[in-house]
Amino acid sequence: MFTLTEVASLNDIQPTYRILKPWWDVFMDYLAVVMLMVAIFAGTMQLTKDQVVCLPVLQSVVSSKAQPGTSGNADFIPATTEAEEMSMGTDSSEGAPTITPHIPLSRVTSSQLRPTVSNQELKKEQKDSLGRKTNLDFQQYVFINQMCYHLALPWYSKYFPYLALIHTIILIVSSNFWFKYPKTCSKIEHFVSILGKCFESPWTTKALSETACEDSEENKQRLTGAQSLPKHVSTSSDEGSPSASTPMITKSGFKFSAEKPVIEVPSMTILDKKDGEQAKALFEKVRKFRAHVEDSDLIYKLYVVQTVIKTVKFIFILCYTANFVNAISFEHRCKPKVEHLIGYKEFECTHNMAYMLKKLLISYISLICVYGFICLYTLFWLFRIPLKEYSFEKVREESSFSDIPDVKNDFAFLLHMVDQYDQLYSKRFGVFLSEVSENKLREISLNHEWTFEKLRQHVSRNAQDKQELHLFMLSGVPDAVFDLTDLDVLKLELIPEAKIPAKISQMTNLQELHLCHCPAKVEQTAFSFLRDHLRCLHVKFTDVAEIPAWVYLLKNLRELYLIGNLNSENNKMIGLESLRELRHLKILHVKSNLTKIPSNITDVAPHLTKLVIHNDGTKLVVLNSLKKMMNVAELELQNCELERIPHAIFSLTNLQELDLKSNSIRTIEEIISFQHLKRLTCLKLWHNKIVNIPPSISCVKNLESLYFSNNKLESLPAAVFNLQKLRCLDVSYNSITVIPVEIWSLQNLQHFHITGNKVESLPKSLFKCVKLRTLSLGQNCITSIPDKIGQLLQLTHLELKGNCLDRLPVTLGQCRLLRKSGLVVEDHLFDILPSEVKELLNQDTSITFANGI
């Protein structure tokens, strides 16, 4: 026989699961244990003491019951009970019972009851007065007892303990099945684990204590009255103030006052680094668990099903058990049909466990009724309120975390179950569902890690010799950043929760800000500072929503760089119409995938001097908006798949520099129209597919720089050499074979690049361009360098590498500004130069170089 402990183990669950056991489940578990005790006790008693004792019903007694009395009156008493039969004497010699004649009860006297037999017979009768003999031996009694136990006893009397045990086990399994089923057990285990960690996390205590501090402080603020409201540290003028839709952070909580110091909550400023990392991991776990559990309601459905099963089981047990209460009796008649073996046809039997079983059955029915009523209450609770929805409204009202979201499905049901245990669990768990709470944690951890000293080590000097700080992939902007008052450039990259507080007003040297995938929010005071002091802003984004709206309100901004997806379908979303507030904008740089120049870009046309559009290969079709930009001096249209020079450009009378790099331009016959652009000095048509330069280029007389590198030119027309003001000519990486002798006419030429062509020889007239400072002749087929190269006294850079030279001219020593660092040539050619020439080239004459310039 198994023990109660072994069976009760079916009711055991992990101790941590107790938080998901409401009072009714706990009560039903205890009832199940009591029912187990009843069943096992009844079963034990039945196995050890249950028996039936039977005696035969004598035939003579039966027949005597049927005979009438001698007087025919009802005053005679028949021998009706077995006890009376056993008390009557028997005749041992004949083996048949001797029957006393029936005497009327009214006439019976003491003298008449005396026996009429002899004294010897009287002694014998007194000796056998314990009962009547039945001629059955012990084995026959055992046999008939077993036969009558199975035939005469109702089945419920024999199997009640086992049925009670089976029913109770089914109820126990039904109660805890949702803890055992694999698809729900894993979710429950994960939930309980996370819930316990959230409850014990120091961050929960700190967050809730901060809420308590804020509430008490707000109460103090209310008591001071409206007349004592503190004033803000700084205010902004009405002009250029952000609209209601501008994403800025307003001061909430404590306010700054000129009379009172800023009140800070010390509990939020101290957090152990390990605790902070654990809390951040918990936020991530809660986020993933919520996404996983909210997709289904399997746990809820399974709990409802098991409750319905228990209720149906209760009704079933109650219905059939109540009918068998009266079936349990002490006395039973048994007719086993073994007269040929025993000699008797009918037996009178007693069941010794009848009264005990009846009391146990009534107890069991009572327990089942209580169990059933609790099941009915559980069903009422399950369907009374929508358990697949859970609201943190009360938590939001009591705390500063007003962004705690409501949850649904299994996540909501588990929280409802936890509330039946202790509502504090849900309140502390809600802290880890709040983005505000997570941001505060990140802020504290970030400030703990990025101290002023660490940030100072990351400050560097950029190419413009400005102090620059680049922060990459942080959870926010450390407070110590704004203590670097001498910082010139601040770069924030991949910081989605960047917030710029009022402390930025301390950074008086800050003029350039980079926001790379960083939709930063600013406080009102911070915005006022940026609006007045910021000069250059770089914004890199993937979606236009990442561009902060306050960007378009920086009235003193000089340079704006926008890098991201701005195709024609999204042009209306970019908000370029807001550029009209950028009244001092001079440079607009757009690197995107535009198919047309937005018409509203002309809002900044009156003061815009430089426009740069770098496409990603998307063809720029519509350029009519360019005609309105009359003050643009520099225009760059790179990688826009242009096939010809846009006619809209010819209307830009103030244009000084035009860059059409990396397009698909094949012909430039329109170049004659540039003669109307009197101020055009630089023309860059590099990285295109131009085959020849038209003679009409000579009409653009004010050109000083001309770039035709990486095209398909095979020759240089003489018209190029009529550009007397030309100072830079770049025709590198073409297919030019000859340098025309007319090049000598470019007396102002200072930079000549013809690298990567097919030139075999250098005309001596080239060296009449005595103002040359840079001469790039690499990767050609040149076999010798004329000695007249020594006439280029201002030469500082000479590239000869990649030719067919066998020696270098000695006259290189006469180029007094040329040094080895500016001489690009094979090492063996440099090594065979005379030693005095090498000494001159190796000489450090920075002073001489400066004088030469």
Provide the pLDDT for residue 516: 93
CA distances from 14 to 3, 10, 176, 387, 709 (A): 21, 12, 11, 24, 77
Could you tell me if residue 368 is inside a domain?
Answer: yes
Neighbouring-strand partners of residue 536: 512, 559
112 vs 119, more confident:
119
Indicate the pLDDT class of residue 509, thresholds 50, 70 and 90: very high
In 3D space, the residue among 563, 603, 567 whose CA is nearest the CA of residue 582 turns out to be: 603
Residue partners of 342: CB distance under 8 A and separation at least 6: 56, 136, 140, 143, 144, 336
In angstroms, the CA 351 to CA 450 distance is: 87
Q: Encoding tokens for residue 280?
A: 């951040």
**Worst-scoring range by mean pLDDT, 195-204, 268-277, 278-287, 806-815?**
268-277
Provide the pLDDT for residue 235: 38
Is the CB of residue 530 less than 8 Å from the CB of residue 504?
A: yes
**Worst-scoring range by mean pLDDT, 259-268, 366-375, 715-724, 730-739?**
259-268
Residue type at position 282: L
Indicate the pLDDT class of residue 704, thresholds 50, 70 and 90: very high
Could you tell me if residue 354 is inside a domain?
Answer: yes
**Is a pLDDT exceeding 80 seen at residue 88?**
no
> Average pLDDT of the chain?
79
In angstroms, the CA 711 to CA 525 distance is: 53
Could you tell me if residue 79 is inside a domain?
Answer: no
Provide the pLDDT for residue 151: 83
> Which of 157-166, 297-306, 725-734 reaches the highest mean pLDDT?
725-734
**What's the rounded mean pLDDT across residues 668-674?**
90
Could you tell me if residue 116 is inside a domain?
Answer: no
**What's the rounded mean pLDDT across residues 834-847?**
78
Where are any strands of DSSP class E within 542-623?
559-563, 587-592, 610-615
Q: Encoding tokens for residue 246?
A: 């501008």
Q: Encoding tokens for residue 230?
A: 């503190």
**Is a pLDDT exceeding 80 seen at residue 518?**
yes
Q: Which residue range forms the structural domain that includes residue 376?
A: 4-57+152-180+306-384
Q: What is the pLDDT of residues 556-589, one digit of tens each?
A: 999 999 998 876 554 444 545 567 788 889 999 9
Provide the pLDDT for residue 91: 36
**Is a pLDDT exceeding 90 seen at residue 684?**
yes
**What's the rounded mean pLDDT across residues 137-150?**
83
**Is a pLDDT exceeding 50 seen at residue 804?**
yes
Indicate the pLDDT class of residue 260, thresholds 50, 70 and 90: very low
Indicate the pLDDT class of residue 59, thresholds 50, 70 and 90: low
CA distances from 143 to 57, 458, 601 (A): 16, 101, 113
Is the CB of residue 514 less than 8 Å from the CB of residue 490?
A: yes
**Is a pLDDT exceeding 70 seen at residue 11?**
no
Is the CB of residue 665 less than 8 Å from the CB of residue 688?
A: yes
**Is a pLDDT exceeding 60 seen at residue 233?**
no
DSSP string of 766-808?
GGG-TT--EEE--SS------GGGGG-TT--EEE-TTS--S--
Could you tell me if residue 493 is inside a domain?
Answer: no
Q: Encoding tokens for residue 651?
A: 């209307």
Provide the pLDDT for residue 429: 83
Could you tell me if residue 358 is inside a domain?
Answer: yes
Provide the pLDDT for residue 772: 95
In 3D space, the residue among 72, 40, 140, 120 whose CA is nearest the CA of residue 364 turns out to be: 40
Provide the pLDDT for residue 244: 44
> Which of 211-215, 279-283, 325-329 reaches the highest mean pLDDT?
279-283
pLDDT above 70 covers what percent of the chain? 79
In angstroms, the CA 598 to CA 570 distance is: 11
Provide the pLDDT for residue 132: 65
The CATH number linked to 358 is: 1.20.1440.80
**Is a pLDDT exceeding 90 seen at residue 131?**
no
Indicate the pLDDT class of residue 14, thresholds 50, 70 and 90: low
156 secondary structure, DSSP code: H
Provide the pLDDT for residue 60: 55
In angstroms, the CA 307 to CA 175 distance is: 7
**Phi, psi torsion values for 252, nearest 5 degrees:** -125, 160
**What's the rounded mean pLDDT across residues 109-118?**
40
Is the CB of residue 741 less than 8 Å from the CB of residue 763?
A: yes
Q: What is the pLDDT of residues 613-654, one digit of tens each?
A: 998 888 888 788 888 888 899 999 999 999 999 988 998 999
Indicate the pLDDT class of residue 119, thresholds 50, 70 and 90: low
Indicate the pLDDT class of residue 209, thresholds 50, 70 and 90: low
**What's the rounded mean pLDDT across residues 224-241?**
40
Residue type at position 583: R
**What's the rounded mean pLDDT across residues 53-63?**
68
Q: What is the pLDDT of residues 434-468, one digit of tens each?
A: 888 887 887 888 888 889 999 999 999 998 899 99
Provide the pLDDT for residue 163: 86
Provide the pLDDT for residue 338: 80
- SS percent in the chain: helix, strand, coil, step 5: 45, 10, 40
Could you tell me if residue 160 is inside a domain?
Answer: yes
**What's the rounded mean pLDDT across residues 381-405?**
84
Indicate the pLDDT class of residue 475, thresholds 50, 70 and 90: confident
Total count of domains within the chain: 1
pLDDT above 90 covers what percent of the chain? 34
